[in-house]
Amino acid sequence: MASAAEQLASNLNFAAFAKAEDLKRRIWFTIGALLVYRLGTYIPMPGINPTAFAQAFQQQSGGVLGMFNMFAGGAVERMAIFALGIMPYISASIIVQLMTSVIPSLEALKKEGEQGRKVINQYTRYGTVLLATVQAYGIAVGLEGGANLVADPGWFFRVSTVITLLGGTMFLMWLGEQITARGIGNGISLIIFAGIVAGLPRALSGTLELGRTGALSTGLILAILVLAVVVIAVIVFFERAQRRLLIQYPKRQVGNRMFQGDTSHLPLKLNTAGVIPPIFASSLLLLPATAAGFTDTTKLPSWASSVLAALGHGQPLYMLAYASLIIFFCFFYTAIVFNPKDTADQLKKHSGFIPGYRPGERTADYIDYVLTRITVVGAIYIMLVCLLPEFLISATGVPFYLGGTSLLIVVSVTLDTVAQIQGHLIAHQYEGLIKKSKLRGGKRGR
């Protein structure tokens, strides 16, 4: 079966794609949904002075607002109706995942299969509404505190801002679910992917403009492009890397027939935590700079000013804190999303076992042992990818649009989407082979 799938995957071509009508419909639906999202990032929120806000945003672009603006596809910079983006939904999903590991009732729901997953998804939506409402109200109050940012401050502006931003986030959440169900790829990830990629043309043109004016040498620009290709290749390699544990199933007898035991593999990804660790680490490190941007820095104590200066991009303390937080969240989030004991119980339930280890607790301990060691490698890999742009910024003074977090998101989402497209093509070719075999069987019967 595996060899047949591999042979079909190697024979995928444009002819097979042209015949896969369902796949083409899914791709067109996904493109249309992402175009709707991009259009929404240009619809301004009512009651805002665009010129004054653009000037205020430039002063805060190096903090958390800059990172959120990148994930929102520039909607924060324009204070559009999608300014909150999909981040409240992602935050709610992470919170619910954390709660499932500490609240027994949620943990029981998680084990109930599809029905339990639907209930957990509904809790995630409720959490999204709560987080988006709080964040939208905070944005409204913060805008009123700025100079000439709001045309008519007051409760009407606050309520309209909350309704607008909350509606934008809920629409994006619904749009992402529709892409997942009726399109191709993971809808939420593709929305973030589209927001990041949308800023690439402007970033590339800005880099070329620096080369034209002489601020950057041609050799340095070429070196940066080559390095970007190498880093992407490294990310692809590590994101696809996995440790496969051999799983065996015993012989079984059905009636008078004895069936041989099967073997399979338990894949453990090298990077189980995904892109969550650098997102958390970046957010925590940028919070002090963002908070300081809204206060008068001249009134801060000398020690606070020193800490803020040390936590600036390219500073040794920032690098050390960033690396430490990434490693911590890699282990922390891996422990949340992957439970070796549950995996061992599932194997035991289906009579599977790892050769040399007794089912149950011994198997769970071995899976945890392997997972911990590959997570060390995964954490080092994520740390190096995320720190590389920081080192380049510190050495060259050139701002890089694609940092480590955004590059990880772009590459991982691309890999996932391509894998799903290949899966649809393989399924389509299997269906074609089955139809042909039925037709041949019918002709022979005649």
- Average pLDDT on 234-241 reads 89
Residue type at 179 in one-letter notation: I
State mean pLDDT over 206-231.
79
Q: Please give the single-letter amino acid code of residue 102.
A: V
- The label of the residue with tokens 């960033």 reads 322
**Position with higher pLDDT, 31 vs 389:** 31
Q: Say whether pLDDT at 114 is over 60.
A: yes
- Per-residue pLDDT for 45 more than 60? yes
Least confident of 137-151, 268-282, 312-326, 424-438: 424-438
The torsion angle over the Cα atoms of residues 429, 430, 434 and 435, rounded to 10 degrees, is: -30
- Cα gap 157→50, rounded to integer Å: 15
pLDDT band for 11, please (50, 70, 90 cuts): very low
* 227: amino acid identity, one letter: L
Block residue for tokens 């043109």 = 205
Q: To which H or E segment does residue 258 belong?
A: strand 257-259
Which pLDDT does position 298 carry in this prediction? 60
Q: Does pLDDT of 439 surpass 70?
A: no
At residue 7, the pLDDT reads 44
Whether the predicted pLDDT of 35 surpasses 90: yes
How far apart CA 44 and CA 77 sit, in angstroms, is 10
Quote the pLDDT of residue 217.
77
Using alpha carbons only, what angle is made at residue 231 by residues 229 and 232, rounded to the nearest 5 degrees?
A: 65
pLDDT (tens digit per residue) in 52-105: 887 777 776 655 566 677 777 778 888 888 988 888 888 888 888 878 877 888
Q: What percent of the chain has pLDDT over 70?
A: 79
CA 194/CA 34 separation, integer angstroms? 7
Q: What is the mean pLDDT of residues 201-215?
A: 76
Q: Give 118-169 pLDDT, tens digit per residue.
A: 888 899 999 999 988 988 888 888 788 777 778 788 888 899 999 999 999 9
Predicted local confidence at residue 140, as pLDDT: 86
Residue 214 in this model has a pLDDT that exceeds 80: no
Residue 12 has pLDDT above 60, yes or no: no
Q: In the predicted model, what is the mean pLDDT of residues 225-233?
A: 85
Query: Does the structure show a pLDDT above 90 at 36?
Result: yes
More confident residue, 368 or 208: 368
What percent of the chain stands above pLDDT 90? 12
Q: By the 8 A CB rule, do 424 and 23 touch?
A: yes
Specify the DSSP element, H or E, that contains 264: strand 263-269
HSE, side-chain direction, 13 A CA sphere, residue 69: 18
- 341 by Cβ neighbours in 10 Å (0-12 / 13-18 / 19+) ranks as middle
What's the pLDDT score for residue 340? Answer: 87
Q: What pLDDT score does 300 carry?
A: 62
The answer to whether the beta carbons of residues 281 and 322 sit under 8 Å apart is yes
What pLDDT score does 98 carry?
Answer: 79
The secondary structure of the chain in percent helix, strand, coil, rounded to multiples of 5, reads 75, 5, 20
Given this model, what pLDDT does residue 260 score? Answer: 63
The pLDDT confidence band at residue 5, using thresholds 50, 70 and 90, is: very low
Task: Look at 179 and 145; give whichever has higher pLDDT.
Answer: 179
Quick one: how far is CA 41 from the chain centroid?
Answer: 19
State the average pLDDT over residues 38-58. Answer: 83
pLDDT at 438: 61
pLDDT at 256 over 70: no
Question: For residues 288 and 200, which has the higher predicted lDDT (pLDDT)?
Answer: 200
Mean pLDDT of 413-417: 87
Beta bridge partners of 268: 243
**What's the token pair of residue 66?**
């800059």
Nearest to 67 by CA among 424, 426, 389, 427: 389
Could you write out the DSSP letters of every residue in 354-401? -TTS-TTHHHHHHHHHHHHHHHHHHHHHHHHHHHHHHHHHHHH----S
Residues 304-319 have a mean pLDDT of 72
pLDDT at position 126: 92
If you average pLDDT over residues 327-334, what whole number do you get?
Answer: 89
In the chain, the amino acid numbered 422 is: Q
Averaged over 234-238, what is the pLDDT? 89
Residue 446: what pLDDT?
Answer: 55
Question: Judging by DSSP bridges, how do beta strands 252-254 and 242-248 pair with one another?
Answer: unpaired
Mean pLDDT of 179-206: 84
Average per-residue pLDDT for the chain: 79
pLDDT greater than 60 at residue 295: no
Outline where 61-113 has alpha helix (H). 64-71, 75-78, 87-100, 104-110
Strand, coil or helix: 269: strand
| Residue 178: predicted pLDDT | 93
